[in-house]
Chains A and B, each alone.
Chain A
Amino acid sequence: NAGVMQNPRHLVRRRGQEARLRCSPMKGHSHVYWYRQLPEEGLKFMVYLQKENIIDESGMPKERFSAEFPKEGPSILRIQQVVRGDSAAYFCASSRGLGDTGELFFGEGSRLTVL
């Protein structure tokens, strides 16, 4: 009964490089959410996806950021041409998405450091 799995747990990139963060939801979960957490701050919603569909990306910057949740494989949050301000912890959560059950299960996060 693996929980939500995120990798890498820690990622260091230089300015201008690309960062790819992966999230495997809990077994049986078809909904994935990505949140960003800056040091000493709260969880900021970025994007909500179902398999092969982006449901709500209102919290994601319009440029450089993209997310996908393919039919097979993990969800990917991709940050192109990273800048220092992208340094944060990125948390993935999943849910069954049935009706309004609502409960989210979080992974341990991926901590991105941009040098």
Chain B
Amino acid sequence: GENVEQHPSTLSVQEGDSAVIKCTYSDSASNYFPWYKQELGKGPQLIIDIRSNVGEKKDQRIAVTLNKTAKHFSLHITETQPEDSAVYFCAASIINDMRFGAGTRLTVKP
């Protein structure tokens, strides 16, 4: 089955700096790559996603890039704010079968 690895496990940045989280996946058939944000005590919420026919997608301060050849994808958050502090999960999916990375705890220091 699909195996997703995520790095780093923790990330601390100063407010205003950028944050980058990277993931690799094992199954070249995966075609959907979402990113979820989980705040303390809550369920994960989708923040951005990308499909295998697209190399990059941006939504305001967040962007995701996908390299299908290398089987890796990344989340970029620019101009970080304290409210960006949370745990972020990447995932890779093949037709409704979604597997998650272990998560990255992002802390944005004011």
Contacts and interface: CB of A to CB of B under 8 A. Distances in A.
Interface of A: 4, 31, 33, 35, 41-45, 48, 55-56, 58, 91, 95, 97, 99-100, 102-109
A107 B34 contact: no
Given A41-B103, A42-B89, A58-B1, A102 B43 contact: no
Interface string B54-97: 00000000000000000000000000000000000100011111
Contacts of B93: 100, 102
Given A43-B89, A58-B1, A103 B46 contact: yes
B32 to A, nearest CB: 4
Interface residues of B, number: 24
Interface of B: 1, 6, 31-32, 34, 36, 42-46, 49, 89, 93-103
Contacts of B46: 103-105
